[in-house]
Amino acid sequence: MAKYVRLKPLMAILSAGLSGETVPFPDACLFFCLFGRLPMNAVAACFTALRQRGECALIPFLTAGDPDLATTAEALRVLDRAGADLIELGVPYSDPLADGPVIQAAATRALQKGVKLDDVLDIVRQVHGEIKAPIILFTYYNPIFYQGIEVFLDKIKAAGVKGLVVPDLPLEESDRLLEATAERGLELILLVAPTSSPARQTAIAKKSQGFVYLVSVTGVTGVRTAVGSRVETLLAGMRQVTDKPIGVGFGISQPEQARQVKAWGADAVIVGSAMVKRLAEQTPAEGLQSLEDFCRQLKAAIS
């Protein structure tokens, strides 16, 4: 069973902070939410609310613009009403090193239709006020570098993005982006590989904002028939070095796998290729219905 932290009374949190004590991550999030320092639909705040209710988060992933932009916008609404707690939205990229064949193919189709970052942000701008789930933008670093960190972050924040995942950003080069996201109330979620040393796991967890993204397998994203039992060991190890929420992704494609990962102690289950595949292999209307049914099955599995 996943272990959830019981939050302290508000005055105890305040007293601890004023006396210089270290305040656990979920308690700190609650304090800042209540006093208006952290948006209530921000990533960390969402996890704090889920922990209070003893729930595990479901985070689906979509590739923006596949099969088309209108379907992506509707898919965000569908996932939100079907139980998604947060939603990852991928920016199509020509060289997606972390992505497996399903997401690579979706990105290629979107790029062939001319989908660009501004189109993706138009979708976020259109939808974010209609849905409860915070949107986390998944992008490789090149678009950030090309536009400049400050310009890029100002643009995505104005559109309504709440979090950011940059899979090709190494820890050693993350400080400037981490500082810039913190200044804007955005959250940069860092990834921990299954091959990371304990020391590196600790360093990544310390700097990650919102939650820690634990990659369940070595290799790229994709649909797999089983989740390796090593994930249980990895989660136990991460629990020794951080009290931040931990989301597990890469390779989860079935409700039974989601249920198992939650039982091993994950705070969130991240599902990508299995979502993207459902939109790709049917008409948009059929794909949206399949997406909604699948999302509800996953949410039921971890509830």
Per-residue burial over 240-253, b if 16 or more Cβ lie within 10 Å, else e, is ebbebbbbbbbbbb
Q: Is residue 268 part of a domain?
A: yes
Same-domain status, 32 and 135: no
Q: Average pLDDT in the 246-256 region?
A: 93
What is d(CA 262, CA 61) in angstroms, rounded to the nearest whole number? 18
Residue 38 pLDDT exceeds 80: no
Confidence at residue 110, expressed as pLDDT on a 0 to 100 scale: 97
Residue 27 pLDDT exceeds 60: no
For the chain, the distance separating the N- and C-terminal CA atoms, rounded to the nearest angstrom, is 12
Same-domain status, 248 and 292: yes
| 99 in catalytic set | yes
- Based on the structure, what is the number of domains in the chain? 2
Peptide linkage before 67 cis (omega within 30 of 0): yes
- Give residue 19's identity as a one-letter amino acid code: S
Is-contact 111 69, C-beta < 8 A?
no
217 falls in which pLDDT band (50, 70, 90)?
low
Q: Is residue 121 part of a domain?
A: yes
Confidence at residue 94, expressed as pLDDT on a 0 to 100 scale: 86
| 66 in catalytic set | no
Same-domain status, 109 and 24: no
Residue 6 pLDDT exceeds 70: no
Same-domain status, 181 and 280: yes
What's this model's pTM, rounded to 2 decimal places?
0.84
**CA angle, residues 9, 11, 14, in degrees to nearest 5:** 115
Same-domain status, 297 and 192: yes
251 falls in which pLDDT band (50, 70, 90)?
confident
Same-domain status, 131 and 15: no
Catalytic: which of 88, 187, 267, 292? 88
Q: Is residue 89 part of a domain?
A: yes
Q: Is residue 198 part of a domain?
A: yes
What is d(CA 128, CA 110) in angstroms, rounded to the nearest whole number? 21
Instruction: List, for residues 256-287, the tens digit of each pLDDT value.
Output: 999 999 999 999 999 999 999 999 999 999 99
Highest mean pLDDT among 25-34, 89-98, 114-123: 114-123
Q: Is residue 2 part of a domain?
A: no
- Token readout for 131 is 């849905």
Confidence at residue 12, expressed as pLDDT on a 0 to 100 scale: 52
Instruction: List, for residues 127-176, the tens digit of each pLDDT value.
Output: 999 999 999 999 999 999 999 999 999 999 999 999 999 999 999 999 99
Confidence at residue 24, expressed as pLDDT on a 0 to 100 scale: 54
Same-domain status, 48 and 116: yes
**What percentage of the chain carries pLDDT values higher than 70?**
82
Place of tokens 């660009």: 116
Q: Is residue 1 part of a domain?
A: no
Q: Average pLDDT in the 205-231 region?
A: 74
Confidence at residue 10, expressed as pLDDT on a 0 to 100 scale: 47
Quickly list DSSP for 215-239.
Answer: E-SSS-----S---THHHHHHHHHH
Quickly list DSSP for 1-38.
Answer: ----PPPPPHHHHHHHHHTTPPPPHHHHHHHHHHTTSS
32 falls in which pLDDT band (50, 70, 90)?
very low
Residue 20 pLDDT exceeds 70: no
What is d(CA 161, CA 149) in angstroms, rounded to the nearest whole number? 15
Confidence at residue 33, expressed as pLDDT on a 0 to 100 scale: 46
- Token readout for 32 is 């800042």
Same-domain status, 19 and 165: no
The conformation of residue 277, written as its DSSP 8-state character, comes to H
Same-domain status, 20 and 69: no
Same-domain status, 295 and 249: yes
Q: What is the CATH number for 260?
A: 3.20.20.70
Confidence at residue 54, expressed as pLDDT on a 0 to 100 scale: 94
Same-domain status, 262 and 172: yes
Instruction: List, for residues 68-99, the tens digit of each pLDDT value.
Output: 999 999 999 999 999 999 999 999 998 767 67
Q: Which domain holds residue 32?
A: 7-38
> 35 or 267: which carries more pLDDT confidence?
267
Residue 18 pLDDT exceeds 90: no
Catalytic: which of 99, 187, 267, 292? 99
Same-domain status, 205 and 84: yes
